[in-house]
Structure 1
Amino acid sequence: MKRTVRSVYSSHAVKTVSITMGRNLQTCLVAWIILSNMSIGGDYPHKVNGVIGGTIELVIKQTFSDNATEVVWKLKRGSQTFKIAEFKDNNLRTEHPQIQMFRDGMGLRIKNATFDNIGNYTAKITLKNNVIEDVSFIVSLYEPVPFPTIRIDYEDGTNNTCNVTLHCDVTANTSVSYIWEYKNGSEYQRYESTVGTVQVTRQPEPMEVQCTVHNPADWKNVSVPLKPCQQKVTESHHTRHHWPVVGAVLFVVGVACIIHLIHFKTQLKKSVQETDGHIVIPRQKKDPQEEY
């Protein structure tokens, strides 16, 4: 299945891209965010993405040659390094209320994260056989993604097809990426577009469109149904077409009123007698018998 969609960039340039089958966005994004925030084995720094105000967990997944007797967590921010937590003699110690340790020091939890928690974290692990292991993490934090809204502009078309421009808007001034999907049946299909505005050719069958905004740590989405295609007729079009008819009717009524007024004046002049500019009312004749 293949369909065409045009992406509208801020420079108003329109690029044609293909729409291909894709998995459900919600499942894909949830899995992607979980995997990106998980700490797995390896010697390289693990990248952990979090949301401001949320909770971050740094978990050591490596398997070591012996049990740990001590775990010291440090945070390096800029040129300074701070000791933030320690596990020793089966005791968990930290002086920061927002920081907790679990799994015998192999996990570090940061609650109500702020930008001050961004930096490089290192766990120094001392084993019973005196072997020392280091595991490092890089923590990045992002603003929560706001809920988006979709604006729809229907363009002129026919009963079968029409062009529709969709705008996915967010209220906050934050950096996000976009994913568009459409659904004709029960499954969403993916638009290969990563911008906030897309232009599609709308077909007559029922259709639903979904926009997802996301950053590396958070995501939100919204979906809307698209109306069937129809010829676009606005109120201004109706008014423009009716003005000639209204003007003609007013002209005919005005002419009729003028003709009626002229006729009325003519009849009035015939009903009175004018002498030297004065109106003379004729006297009534008396009955001769009334004189006697």
Structure 2
Amino acid sequence: KLDILVAQAPTPPRQVNGTLGRSVVLSVDLSPGRKVKEIEWSFRAGSGVTIQLAEFSGGKFERPDPNDRFKQRLERYNETSLRIKALELGDSGVYEARIKIVPATVEELAFRLVVYEPVPQPRIRSHLLTSTLEGCNVTLHCQGSGKGNVSISWGRGNPVQELDPGRHQLSPDGSILQLSLQPSSLNATYTCTVSNPVDQKIIAFDLQSICRSGDADASFSKPGYIVLTFFLLVLSLGTAVWCWRMNNEKSADPAATPTGPVEESPSDPQYAEIMRSPPEGNDQALRHLENNTERSPQKEPLITTIYDKVHRTPENTSEEVT
């Protein structure tokens, strides 16, 4: 009689995702009524050597090599589960639990742990293509890089809804979204979600912040500049007229015209009045000169200079010699 032994295929490892710097628990779940005698935990990174990590025996937690790469980062979570703290990227690998069950049953359970970095906070960079009264064409670029399995997705509104393929175009990697919208759709909010298996971050972008400003620029470029030019022209003319009137008022103001006596320039030639007294006994000539002065209608003073007549009287005569 031949005994046929059927080997049961090993159960595929359970997928477990961890975040860099955080903790993860590898849980062993057994059916009720089964009593665990001992559990041995081991670790293998890729095709490397398998390392024995810990033993659960009689309610105790033992570490065969406390100085391995995990050091103090391993601890017993409950009677059957193992906890790994302060995860590192090198902790990714396969963890196996060899479970001895009373009376004499052995089961093996495997976990595939992958440690991911948290995704960075994304940013949206916008580029306005055209913005007119008929609509707005804009490109949104979601920037959110990270190591590992990072994906980028777009949504619209709150709550987030899927995009309409007819008016939205995505780049192959999903990071760039091109929009062609009508004026009635310009009040929409678009969201970019950057995620990996352990983390997710979302950023929103209000389309009005770029499309409305674009409309304002476009509308101002034609009639707006004409009105501005006309206003500046009127302002310039008004300023010129005001300056002209102020200058005329200053010219017509008598207070602005000096009324004091005009001082003679020291450089003008001075002509002194030279009066020569007639000789004694020539009273007739003196009286004749005084009479001429009184008869002058302008009553101008008689000025005698070196260029005027010089009266000479010969001795013992009364004739006036010129």
Displacement of 1:232 after TM fit? 6.2
Q: Which structure is larger by alpha-carbon Rg, 1 or 2?
A: 2
**Which residues of 2 match residues 44-63 of structure 1 at below 5 A?**
44-63=12-31
Displacement of 1:225 after TM fit? 1.8
Does residue 123 (structure 1) correspond to residue 97 (structure 2)? The answer is yes
Letter in 2 for 1:197: I
Letter in 1 for 2:217: V
Letter in 2 for 1:216: P
1:164 corresponds to which of 138, 150, 153 = 138
Does residue 87 (structure 1) correspond to residue 59 (structure 2)? The answer is no
Match of 2:179 in 1: 200
Distance, in Å, in 1 between the alignment partners of 2:11 and 2:216 is 62
Does residue 187 (structure 1) correspond to residue 159 (structure 2)? The answer is yes
1:112-153: CA deviation from partner (whole Å, max 9, x where unpaired): 101231211100000002110000011111221111111222
Match of 2:35 in 1: 67
User: Unaligned stretches of 5+ in structure 1?
Assistant: 1-41, 254-282
Letter in 1 for 2:91: N
Displacement of 1:168 after TM fit? 1.0
**Aligned residues: percent identity?**
26
User: Does structure 2 conserve the Cα–Cα contact (< 8 Å) formed by 1:67 and 1:128?
Assistant: yes
Match of 1:101 in 2: 76
SS at match of 2:21: coil
Structure of greater relative contact order (alpha carbons < 8 Å, 6+ residues apart): 1
Displacement of 1:65 after TM fit? 7.3
User: Does structure 2 conserve the Cα–Cα contact (< 8 Å) formed by 1:66 and 1:129?
Assistant: no
Letter in 2 for 1:187: P
User: Does structure 2 conserve the Cα–Cα contact (< 8 Å) formed by 1:85 and 1:101?
Assistant: no
User: Does structure 2 conserve the Cα–Cα contact (< 8 Å) formed by 1:169 and 1:196?
Assistant: yes
Displacement of 1:79 after TM fit? 2.5
Task: Provide closer, same or farther for how the CA distance between residues 147 and 291 of structure 1 changes in structure 2, counting only shifts above 3 A.
Answer: same
2:217 corresponds to which of 205, 222, 233 = 233
Displacement of 1:64 after TM fit? 7.5
Distance, in Å, in 1 between the alignment partners of 2:97 and 2:74 is 14
Task: Provide closer, same or farther for how the CA distance between residues 99 and 154 of structure 1 changes in structure 2, counting only shifts above 3 A.
Answer: same
Q: What TM-score, normalized by structure 1, do the two folds share?
A: 0.61
SS at match of 2:90: helix
Distance, in Å, in 2 between the alignment partners of 1:90 and 1:207 is 60
Query: What CA RMSD, in Å, does the superposition of the two structures yield over aligned residues?
Result: 3.4
2:192 corresponds to which of 211, 220, 241 = 211
Distance, in Å, in 2 between the alignment partners of 1:137 and 1:219 is 24
Displacement of 1:55 after TM fit? 1.2
Q: What TM-score, normalized by structure 2, do the two folds share?
A: 0.56
User: Does structure 1 conserve the Cα–Cα contact (< 8 Å) formed by 2:17 and 2:115?
Assistant: yes
Letter in 2 for 1:143: E
Distance, in Å, in 1 between the alignment partners of 2:58 and 2:188 is 62
1:225-263: CA deviation from partner (whole Å, max 9, x where unpaired): 2207443637x968xx78xx79xx8xxx9xxxxxxxxxx
Displacement of 1:88 after TM fit? 0.5
SS at match of 2:50: strand
User: Unaligned stretches of 5+ in structure 2?
Assistant: 1-9, 238-268, 270-297, 304-322
SS at match of 1:97: helix
SS at match of 1:80: coil
